[in-house]
Amino acid sequence: MARHKNTNIYAGVRGHGSFKQTVPGIARFGVLEAYRKYSLRDKEAGGTLWDFAKAPPGVKIFFSNRRKFGVSKSPYNSMNLGFHVGDDPAAVDRNRMRFARGLGLDPSRLTCPRQRHTGIVSVLDREEQVGSGAHTDESVFDPCDGLVTTMENAPILLHFADCLPVVLAGRAGGKPAIGVLHAGRQGLEEGVVANGVKAMVENLGVERGSIVAALGPAIAPCCYEVGEMKTHGFRKRFGGDVVVDGANLDLAAAAIADLKASGVIAERIHLLDICTSCSDDFYSYRREGVTGRHGAIAWISK
């Protein structure tokens, strides 16, 4: 089933519309139950994020948008969180500062991998790793497209413009654990989502049944035509449901397929079903080419 220019979904996000169910067994309805709008404390900035309401106790999960509360100029306007896209680094640093402080976090503790569209997931487990990539594009996690941790006060921030943010939370021996994954076409094919669950379970000792997954905004099949050649690997790994209209990919459906295959309970998988290319609340590489990056962030509070 194709997802068309989804004004209904965008309207739904504002609290009025209905939601199409395009992935069997996964509720795309009830977005407002699982995700709610959240304003940063910084009144000057006045920005709005999506807060994942089903995060377990002690875990915070947010998805940023591009609007209002940043200082970056066009074409990065305004809340660009990515250093590597050609924006003024001072502006990105200022944005990250506002973003972190607005959430009550120390900006210097933001831990950011150097994302390269791989399936590599690393474990954040040492204090000296915390804050890597906070103020520059350099990171000890290079390459890396997913980070998992049980450390408190070690916020993991990854950035996106169309790729799918997949945030995991679970419990390891009664303590919270989190993971943030960057899942684009290549990363998904390389198994970043399956590897993320594996790292949570095998490296952190997370009980598989405790895992909850929050999928953030990403390009939807309505806008993600890749040509038939590029659909083959995807179809082979995830099955026919991830290809729509012959040449359009459904990243969320692929991630959900891997989550379920990895033993994550379907009812614990939630999707914020906004197409980043349809909604100009978000950065879209497909729509704009040179543009900024919005973020997915998770942390375990002290």
Contact positions toward Zn ion, by CB under 5 A?
A: 220, 222-223, 275, 277-278
Residues contacting 90, CB < 8 A, separation 6+: none
Whichever of 222 and 243 has its CB closer to Zn ion, that residue is 222
The first and second tokens of residue 37, run together, are 């709008």
* Partner residues linked to 111 by β-bridges: 156
Nearest distance from C-beta of residue 293 to Zn ion, angstroms: 18
Residues contacting 229, CB < 8 A, separation 6+: none
CB 63 within 8 A of CB 80: no
Whichever of 282 and 299 has its CB closer to Zn ion, that residue is 282
Alpha-carbon Rg for the chain in angstroms:
17
Nearest distance from C-beta of residue 30 to Zn ion, angstroms: 21
Please give the residue whose beta carbon sits closest to Zn ion in the complex: 275
CA distance 250 to 222: 9
Q: Which of 90, 49, 86 is nearest to 66 (CA)?
A: 49
Whichever of 156 and 275 has its CB closer to Zn ion, that residue is 275
- CB neighbours (10 Å) of residue 11? 12
Residues in the chain: 302
Nearest distance from C-beta of residue 22 to Zn ion, angstroms: 12
Whichever of 97 and 163 has its CB closer to Zn ion, that residue is 163
Whichever of 220 and 257 has its CB closer to Zn ion, that residue is 220
Nearest distance from C-beta of residue 223 to Zn ion, angstroms: 3
At 97, which helix (H) or strand (E)?
helix 89-102
The first and second tokens of residue 273, run together, are 């079903």
Whichever of 50 and 299 has its CB closer to Zn ion, that residue is 50
DSSP state of 282: S
Whichever of 17 and 205 has its CB closer to Zn ion, that residue is 17
Task: For residue 69, give the 3-state DSSP assignment.
Answer: coil
CA distance 127 to 239: 41
Residues contacting 174, CB < 8 A, separation 6+: none
Nearest distance from C-beta of residue 244 to Zn ion, angstroms: 11
Whichever of 171 and 185 has its CB closer to Zn ion, that residue is 185
- Hey, CA dihedral for 108, 63, 5, 73, is it positive or negative? negative
Nearest distance from C-beta of residue 267 to Zn ion, angstroms: 26
Nearest distance from C-beta of residue 252 to Zn ion, angstroms: 12
Nearest distance from C-beta of residue 220 to Zn ion, angstroms: 5
